[in-house]
Chain A
């Protein structure tokens, strides 16, 4: 079955600390992987994506993610978190055909001063 698991429902980090949000997927074909961020009452903003090539991808706002095929993971990282990073983060997987995305349940990030 195709699925995305974000094991952490809620994470709290101190401002300036490093961050890693976990994402594991199960997908039968070559996966297209995405991380989106959602602020309250807003739509989703694309942070970064992986289609092929270099397994370490850089995104906006200083985020990066690493695709590890052997672990079926696509974890999101940021070396130093800012208070404005507090939001809901969604990992998603899809294939080129059809374009349907499967979303994880999301991880809520809180940032403490």
Chain B
């Protein structure tokens, strides 16, 4: 149990385009999901907290107009990187929080912006 999926697992796009990443909790409902960014050989950096049916809460320094988050259902949250640039290239990981507080992580999405 407690499986979280992400799609796509990797994506390459041109500079200026937008990319959408999906995060799904497959066998449990998650009122809260989280989006992280991870640079090589570094820890996870929390970008935003996504709550079902309400606006996401962004961490300081994260541009909410650039990283659009939607949490339309209890099993799906999406992250859209708008007008992507090479500096947005990174490994993006989502997690879903089950009722007792444990976060289960997705397998990650490798984004490369050319």
Q: Which A residues contact B (CB, under 8 angstroms)?
A: 32, 34, 36, 41-46, 49, 51, 90, 94, 96, 98-101, 103-106
A-side contacts of B100, CB under 8 Å = 51, 96
Shortest Cβ distance from residue B29 to the other chain A in the assembled complex, whole angstroms: 14
- Number of residues of chain B lying within 8 A (CB) of chain A: 24
A-side contacts of B93, CB under 8 Å = 43-44
A-side contacts of B2, CB under 8 Å = 46
Q: Which B residues contact A (CB, under 8 angstroms)?
A: 2, 4, 6, 32, 34, 42-44, 46, 49, 91, 93, 95, 97, 100-108, 110
Query: Is A43 a contact of B101 with CB atoms below 8 Å?
Result: no
CB contact under 8 A between A41 and B110, given known A96-B101, A98-B49:
yes
Query: Is A43 a contact of B43 with CB atoms below 8 Å?
Result: no
Query: Is A106 a contact of B43 with CB atoms below 8 Å?
Result: yes
Query: Is A90 a contact of B101 with CB atoms below 8 Å?
Result: no
Which of A44, A51, A105, A106 is within 8 Å of B105, CB to CB?
A44
